[in-house]
Structure 1
């Protein structure tokens, strides 16, 4: 009896493995077929074999979900009515399945945001309300903020908050809070990418050669930073628009001050927003800064007090309190910008250079220094030729921006070209017979330039 049971179990085991092997072979063949079709962008041909693998072997290969997204997006874009809605819902289901079967490859927020972006794109077809759309992004943000890094998703999330405010379904304070919440996430993404980028820039500056992988990573970090700094954040500010003017902010913060005067986060955000919107002349701004500084002094509050009072002690406190290199670089740049606006060019250059030391992949300080050189040409040159020679120095400084920061390569090249056009011409150089001579530029500049 025992022998017969053993033989039966062995037969079942062999039968099971044979069936599983057959299924594996069928899935492998169909995987190969739809993979080939997808690579040649024949998505309609890929749909049939892809569907077989998805249904029979959902854990077989991640290509089911990577390629499946492309196939279903094609179906959605090339259909209408009930068929289109069915494909949209199927893609939403596919997103869930991708995390179900390959959880290590898909973060929760990544899937939730992909679904939210899809629903937002086809909101009319799905007949989704603004509240339900917003909730999808909000749930992703609350459940997995760490991995909510999708640029489009972060902008749409805020855009929907503004829409809710306009519809009278969200308070102004909640809308501003959401802006600050999202900006903090964006700043975290930018800072992380900037730190990684700086290591690669420093390697190149030291004469090293980047590997292919490092080269790809450098481009990724640069494009990501550019997308957030030049597209997402400006778009958020544009969307916010007149909803955050001084006329709106001052009464709001006056009204809420007493209830929040011990809330350091509220105070920080309130003074940051008032500064950003040019409301620093209002007495409320000083009131917010002094209150924040009295309970939690930070580099930001010290910086604001320096701007308000011009007292050196607050300037020194600003530098001392800030320990994060990137934040300190931004503060140096802010301080330099303030000094530049006051015409204190020598000190401004000093702090622009300090900023560059801490954040070498940000080329914007070079452009600011170049602009100060150009604007000082008339007063820092002792002859007409030497005054125009300052523009060579300005052009050289502008070109440095493009070398360290590919995001600025185009504007740096254009700026340098405009400066060179104002420098002495070839005829001027020929007439002065001074090619190769070194010209010392006086006043605050204190630099030399060689005549080409």
Structure 2
């Protein structure tokens, strides 16, 4: 009986102690959370550490707030102390996965850990091979949530560093480039489609809520960052991937990969973008790609081969088939844009504009089709069929300027380029004196030829 009483008392004491600890955790959780909200991270640290150590499964705030606290500590410490906080943050992300696995995306947090180690590789003594392997494991484990632009760029660049040190081959470099580039394309599509939904609201004259305005800015920021890193990695690969390097590489590997649609797609795409299309290997790759995995993309590549051979009529049939085969709006928009550019380069401006207009309808957040249409207008300014005299012919530049302005209104990433084009077009348009002498200021004039559009003459 005495033994039972002792056990009961022990359990009672344990229960009371546990309840007291939980109350204390709740109190300290509230305290550090309020401090974090006003960015008083040093004051929040001790209470946060107590809750994390004693009640690790109490709240997700332990980990979301803890990340901010430790990032602050890392930023404001040096030496051994800093290394300790870096280790603590990596451990915190691992603990978060243990206690809140469903709310801790594997790829996202593994990439965060790798990025932290890369950013502090000197202090941690990490070499390029270790860091690349870290990113590579994270990407392959869960590429769906490995989305942060900076980490995607660092993953690729860590491969470049190994390639430059002659520790990785050209084939390995190109494979990582393709993986990262394709992932960026997926994210650009994702945010473009989300942004298109908000643009559709504006076009329907629906006022965006304050939350939607913030969301739109966030989407535009992500698109800008993805475009920036895409340009950067393309520039790096452009220096590494030259036709004289690509052709022997693909000739060597063709037999082993001739039925691999992914390898064929990447090989054709790289040779196309590097303008290695004169080599007979390009045609061989294109035909094999179309045979193994016929799609809108393959039809497009076959069309480029036919156009190069002067078989325009047959090529146009392939272009039409490429557009018809693609059914997904975002992808179909990309196909329409590429066809538009191809036809522009063949001086088939009417057909090119039709496809570019389709591209805009399918993906309203992409301003590039406007800039291509504007370029075609500007190229036609000297066409005598577009105006009865020099004044009317040069009036086309006003139309080009108005068209290219539309690009930056829907795609802020193009603002700098648009400004350059507008300045160039306006400089070539009729002067204020010419407008005054013609007496046409503020009037609408018709642009003829293939353009068949009107433009308002600026008042002098």
**Scaled by the length of structure 2, what TM-score is found?**
0.89
Structure 1 residue 425: deviation in Å?
4.7
Please tell me whether the aligned partners of residues 339 and 352 of structure 2 are also in contact (alpha carbons under 8 angstroms).
Answer: yes
Aligned with residue 324 of structure 1, among 319, 322, 328: 328
Q: Are 1:389 and 2:386 counterparts?
A: no
| Aligned-partner Cα distance in 2 for 1:80–1:405 | 42
Q: Are 1:234 and 2:231 counterparts?
A: yes
Structure 2 partner of 1:59? 57
Structure 1 partner of 2:244? 247
SS in 1 for 2:455: strand
Aligned residue pair count = 449
| Aligned-partner Cα distance in 1 for 2:6–2:202 | 68
| Aligned-partner Cα distance in 2 for 1:428–1:239 | 47
SS in 2 for 1:323: coil
Structure 1 partner of 2:456? 450
Structure 1 residue 162: deviation in Å?
2.3
Q: Are 1:364 and 2:362 counterparts?
A: no
Structure 1 residue 408: deviation in Å?
3.1
Structure 1 partner of 2:265? 268
- Runs of 4+ in structure 1 off by over 6 angstroms are 4-8, 11-14
Q: Higher mean Cα deviation, 143-152 or 55-64?
A: 55-64
SS in 2 for 1:146: coil
Structure 2 partner of 1:219? 217
Structure 2 partner of 1:207? 205
Structure 2 partner of 1:132? 130
CA distance change for structure 1 residues 411 and 291 in 2, over 3 Å: closer, same or farther?
Answer: closer
Q: Give the gaps of 5 or more residues in structure 2.
A: 308-313
SS in 1 for 2:446: strand
Structure 2 partner of 1:68? 66
| Aligned-partner Cα distance in 2 for 1:439–1:61 | 67
SS in 2 for 1:439: strand
| Aligned-partner Cα distance in 2 for 1:206–1:412 | 26
Please tell me whether the aligned partners of residues 330 and 363 of structure 2 are also in contact (alpha carbons under 8 angstroms).
Answer: yes
Structure 1 partner of 2:92? 94
Aligned with residue 438 of structure 1, among 416, 441, 444: 444
Structure 1 residue 6: deviation in Å?
10
Q: Are 1:282 and 2:279 counterparts?
A: yes
Counting only pairs closer than 5 Å after superposition, residues 105-144 of structure 1 correspond to structure 2 as 105-144=103-142
| Aligned-partner Cα distance in 2 for 1:171–1:431 | 66
Q: Higher mean Cα deviation, 412-421 or 91-100?
A: 412-421
| Aligned-partner Cα distance in 1 for 2:244–2:250 | 11
Please tell me whether the aligned partners of residues 238 and 274 of structure 2 are also in contact (alpha carbons under 8 angstroms).
Answer: no
SS in 1 for 2:454: strand
Structure 1 residue 81: deviation in Å?
2.5
SS in 2 for 1:338: helix
| Aligned-partner Cα distance in 1 for 2:41–2:325 | 57
Aligned with residue 191 of structure 2, among 172, 193, 200: 193
| Aligned-partner Cα distance in 1 for 2:296–2:405 | 32
Deviations 1:363-400 (A, max 9, x none): 11112212222232232222233233222222221222
Structure 1 residue 34: deviation in Å?
2.8
| Aligned-partner Cα distance in 1 for 2:31–2:236 | 46
Deviations 1:122-171 (A, max 9, x none): 11222223222122111111221211112111111122222233333333
SS in 2 for 1:449: strand
SS in 1 for 2:212: helix
